[in-house]
Amino acid sequence: MLCAKFGLIGQQPKEVLVSTTSEKTTLESIAAAQYGIKNLDATVKSMVITLLKIKSILEWRAPKHAKLASIVLSVVALLLMAVPFKLVLMAFLSYAFVSNLKTGRRVTSEQRKNRRLREWWETIPAVSVTVDGNPR
């Protein structure tokens, strides 16, 4: 975005400086730099998609998800209004301790919860899409 703002799009990128002062060979250093750049690129892409999905929820472009998010936020607000914060904090900490115990791992199925949350997250459209009915 900064490159676009300052008109640097279309210019050749500057070279990447790879330090060979470590115990790695030059080829290993270049491979590590390439891996780091790929990792950074993947992280930036996932953050952009996350921001687009959050924007989609906030702008009600995904009505089903926006309604669910507003209901959850309302319930949390009512809970925090009715129950003292220290009790909520104690409940959260006790849940965290119980779920880390061996017996608590059997009680809570984190994988099932994470899978359902991931499936819900994947159904949120990042950008609103309109399909034209006229085939060309």
Q: Can you list the positions of beta strands (E) in the chain?
A: none
Residue type, 82: A
Q: Report the alpha-carbon distance of residue 10 to residue 65 in Å, rounded.
A: 39
How many Cβ atoms from other residues are within 10 Å of residue 68's Cβ?
Answer: 13
pLDDT band at 130 (very low <50, low <70, confident <90, very high): low
Give residues with Cβ within 8 angstroms of 46, minimum separation 6. Answer: none
| Least confident stretch, 12-26, 40-54, 70-84, 100-114 | 100-114
Residue 98, both tokens: 């119980």
Integer CA distances (angstroms), 50 to 33, 44, 53, 56, 86, in order: 26, 10, 5, 10, 31
pLDDT at 60 over 70: yes
